[in-house]
Every structure is written in C-alpha cells, then in structure tokens.
Amino acid sequence: MLSALAAGFAQVTAAHPQFQEMADWSRFFTAADAQGSIVVLDARDNSETTYVHNPSRAERRYSPASTFKIPHSLFALDAGLLRDEFQVIPWDGVKRPTAAWNVDQNLRSAMRNSTVWVYERFAKELGDAREAAYMQKIGYGNAVATGDKPFWVEGDLAISSIEQIAFLQRLYRNQLPFLVEHQRLVKDVMLNEAGPDWILRAKTGWTGKIGWWVGWVEWPSGPVFFALNMDTPNRLSDLAKRQSIARNVLRSINALPVAP
C-alpha cells in the first residue's frame, strides 16, 4: 500500500520522498474520538521526509470544501477579479448565519472568515469552463467544476491529502503558473499565527461530513507541510478536532511549538 502511495505522490510532485507510515499517530485521532488521516512532509534541513497516518485514506479524493479558497484566490487574482488584498468586495445585503460574512469583504477577511459568498461570486464571474481550465493547469485534484453548487463543497471536485501537499509545496516555492506577487499575496492572507522564528499558514475546510486543515509551518531550517482530513459525524462539535489533532501531530515531530 505504501509503495502505491509513494508512486502516486511521486507522480504529482515529481519527487521521490521517503515514506514513513506513522501508526503511532492513531493515538491523536483516538484521543479526539475521530477517524481520519494526515500527511506531513518535513522539508527542514535540506531534506524531505513524508510521514503518513492512514495511507489508504490519504490517497482517497474528497471534496476540498474551503481549502479550495487557496487556489480560488489565485484564479481570481489572475483573472483580474481582484487587484490586491485591499480591494473592497461589496456585501450583497443578504443576511447569512455567520455574522462576519454580513459586511463588505476584502481578500484577507474573506480568507480569514471563509466567506462563502465571496468565492461564489468569483465562481459566477469565472464560469465553470474557466474554473476547470485553471484547475487542469495546476493539476488540482480531478479538476472538475461540475455537480451541485458550490462545486468545491457540494459538487464533483475532489482532491486527496497527498495532492493537497503537492499543491502547497508548489505554492510555497512560487512554482505555480501565476504571477509571483499573486502567489506571495495568497500566502500572506493564509497567515494563521507566528512566533519569533516560525510562521503558520493554513486553511480549514468543511463539507458538513468531512473536515480539512491544510497548510505549512515555516522555520528557518525549512517548511513542514501538512494535510489533515477527517470525518465529522458530530458536525459543528467536531470542527475543533481538525486543528487540535494536526497540532498534536506537528508538535510530536517538533514542527510546532508546544502550547504555553
């Protein structure tokens, strides 16, 4: 199974990292009463080691949900729908359940608050064909914009944790087919938190059934990429588990400082 995983990862990253199946990481999922997988690529100290918990799930494609806001922001910038992170995106006046959505937005607030209507507007302006063309251009999952809307939550778009890592690596290194300034801007609005010598950039996602947390931690010695995917049978009450599990995993390899 791991050889198949390695082959799949090599195909999408054009790299041949060493894989280590981390059965011991099951304790973090068990403690949280959760089922899922996590892939961690540690690229510190000029080397690459890939750790995997639950490899078969890590290969399986799922709806990206709001993690798609990362590439979607690049598409909007490239298409000229956005100039920069300061451009105001006018609220349409429709009251939605999340209070932070019911005001004008910009790229930073839309990413921070995961403001769905902003990206639905981008999707409408781009159109399904152009969305699919962009995804095919960067090799994002199955690269389709079909099915119910929004297609990245309710539709047919799907991506695996392994493919998420491959995409994040290219973004980190400014290797995607977009202007470097656009890639740098999207990374900037992905900022979650930082310490004296580290920066965490990440994005959550949730379909209602599947939860994601993907991103990386930057260190002076290099980045550590991660992609967590888990079931959320208890819906909202499960959402905090995404970050708590991933943080525990990252701390176990000293990729994130221990909470004070």
Which tens digit of pLDDT belongs to each residue from 189-221?
A: 999 999 999 999 999 999 999 999 999 999 999
pLDDT band at 259 (very low <50, low <70, confident <90, very high): confident
Is the pLDDT reported for residue 1 higher than 80? no
Is the pLDDT reported for residue 2 higher than 70? no
Give the active site residue among 63, 66, 73, 160: 66
pLDDT band at 104 (very low <50, low <70, confident <90, very high): very high
Whole-angstrom distance, CA of residue 227 vs CA of residue 219: 18
- Domain residue limits, the chain: 2-252
pLDDT at 19: 82
pLDDT band at 6 (very low <50, low <70, confident <90, very high): very low
Q: How many CB atoms lie within 10 A of CB 217?
A: 26
What's 2-252's CATH class?
Answer: alpha beta
Whole-angstrom distance, CA of residue 18 vs CA of residue 92: 49
Whole-angstrom distance, CA of residue 49 vs CA of residue 20: 8
pTM: 0.92
Task: Give Cα 185 to chain centroid, integer Å.
Answer: 16
- Give me the mean pLDDT over the 224-236 stretch: 98
Of 225, 239, 166, 205, the C-alpha closest to 62 is 205
Q: Active site includes 66? A: yes
Whole-angstrom distance, CA of residue 89 vs CA of residue 124: 14
Is the pLDDT reported for residue 43 higher than 80? yes
